[in-house]
A and B are shown apart, each in its own frame.
Chain A
Amino acid sequence: MKPAPLIFERASSVEQAIGLVSECKGYAKFLAGGQTLGPMINLRLAQPDLVVDISRLPELHGVVDKGSHISVGGGTLHADFEDAVVPDPANGLLCKVASGIAYRAIRNRGTIGGSLAHADSAAEWPSVMMALAARVVIHGAAGSRTIEMSEFIQGPMTTVLADEEIIVAVEIPRASAAMRWGFDKRSRKVGELAHALVVVVRDNQKCSVVMGATGGAPLQLRHTAGVLADAKGWREGIERELRSAYETDIDAAQLHLDEYDRHVHGLAVIRAGKEAVA
C-alpha cells in the first residue's frame, strides 16, 4: 500500500527536531531509519501528519569512550555494530546480535535508538541492552535525563519516552575481559523477528538473563540467572536445574505461554545458558 499524505521535514539539530514535534498540532513522529515506521506508514497502521527526519543529526552519531562505559549515538546503525565500526564493549555480543537483526539492507538503515524507542519485545536490542544494564540518554522539551534500561520499557511497545523526547545516546557498560555471554534467537526464517529470544551475561559471579519475545517488556529471569551465576562449567544436572528455575520465573511473572511457546523459550534458555557457561 501507499502512505497517506504527510509532511516530511528534515531537522538540522536535536533542539529543532524536539521543537517541530512539540509544536505540531496533529500527530508527529520522529523518523530514524524508517525500518519500522516505514512499513507501518505504508500499511497505514500509522498515519502521522508530520514526520521529522532525525537520521542525519550529528548529535545522534559517534561513539565516546567513557572508561566504565561507551556512549553510542542513538542513530548508530545495526550494520555499524555488525561490522564492528562501533567498538564492542561486550566481548563480541553486540556484533553477534546485530548480524542477526533482519537483513543487511535493513541493518544499513535501522538504528539502535529506533529499536529501543519502538520497544518490540521480539526485537534484539531491548533485551540485550537490559541484560547489559545499559542506560538510555534522552533529550526533550523539559531537558535531558538518563534512564536505566530496566525502567525504560514499561510494556508492549511502551516506553517512558514522551512524544517529543529523543534518544540521543545509549550508554553501554564495559564488560570485564572475563565476561561470558550467551545468546539464542529462535525464528522460523533467518531475519524474522524472534519467536523466542534469550540473552545471558555472566560477569564476576553476577549473572543476568533476559527473555524477549514475551509480548510485553523483556523479562529478567532471576532464578535462572541464580543457577547460571554459580555454575562452574556445563556439569551434569544443570540443564534440569535451569529448566526448573525457568519454569519458576515464568510462573512468578504470570506469563501466559502455551505449551509450545513455553518449550521454545525454554530451549532458548538452555542454549544461551550453555553458550555462556560451557
Chain B
Amino acid sequence: MNEIGMTLNGRKVQDRVEGRCTLADFVREQQGLTGTHLGCEHGVCGACTVLMDGKPVRSCITFAAAADGSEVRTIEGFDDDKVMAVIRRAFSEEHGLQCGFCTPGMLITIRDVIERGVATDQKAIRVALAGNICRCTGYLGIVRSVQRAVALLEEGSQQS
C-alpha cells in the first residue's frame, strides 16, 4: 500500500492505495467521483481524461501513486469554471452528446483545446479530438459545439 495525498477538485485528500490502483479507480472507487468514465482502460478512448496539474491526462494509465502530490481536477471540479460553463451550454444547444459516456473526457479535452488556441477550424478540431471516441453522435454535433463555444467565448471577451 502507498500513502498518497493530492488536491482533488480543490480539496486536500489523503488516502491509502494499492500500488496497482489507477488514478481513475482511485477517484471513482475511493473518492466516489464517478463522473470520470472508464472505457478501454488502455489510453485509446479518452473517456477517463482528467486534469493533472492543469493538463489533460489519461487517468486509466496513470497510477494513483504517481499522482501523489499533484493537483487533480475531474469533471465534478468545474462547477464554477466560466469556460466550462460555455462549453456545456454549447453542448446542450448543438447536441454535443447523446448517452453522455464520452462527455466528461470530451469536455475536459475540449476545454484544453480551446485554452491552447488550437480549435481554429473544423479540421483542427477533429484532429485535436482524435483521441476521444464517441459511439453515439457521429461527431458532427461535437465539432459544432466546439465552434459555438469558441464563438460564444469570443463574443463574451469582446463585450467585457
Contacts and interface: CB of A to CB of B under 8 A. Distances in A.
Contacts of B19: 5-8, 51
Interface stretch (A33-41, A60-68, A259-267): A33-41
Interface string A60-102: 0000000000000000000100000000000000000000001
A42 B63 contact: no
B96 interface: no
A240 interface: no
Interface stretch (B39-47, B76-84, B137-145, B151-159): B39-47
Nearest to B58: A105
Contact of B130 (A7, A53, A55, A190): A190
Contact of B63 (A31, A39, A189, A191): A31
B65 A38 contact: no
Contacts of B25: 2
Nearest to B64: A8
Contacts of A106: 43, 58, 131
Nearest to B49: A105
A27 interface: no
B15 to A, nearest CB: 14
A1 interface: yes
A237 to B, nearest CB: 34
B94 interface: no
Interface residues of B, number: 32
B62 interface: yes
Interface in A1-40: 1-8, 10, 31, 34-35, 38-39
Contacts of B61: 34-35, 38-39, 42, 109
B108 to A, nearest CB: 9
A148 B126 CA distance: 38
A234 interface: no
7 contacts: A8-B19, A38-B43, A79-B55, A103-B46, A104-B56, A104-B131, A105-B49
Given A5-B18, A105-B57, 12 more contacts: A3-B22, A7-B19, A35-B58, A38-B63, A39-B61, A42-B22, A53-B65, A53-B66, A102-B43, A103-B131, A104-B112, A109-B58
Interface of B: 2, 18-20, 22, 25, 41-43, 46, 49, 52, 55-58, 60-63, 65-66, 68, 109, 112-113, 126-128, 130-132
Query: Which 7 pairs, one residue from A and one from B, show the smallest C-beta to C-beta distance?
Result: A103-B131, A38-B61, A8-B19, A39-B42, A190-B130, A3-B20, A105-B56
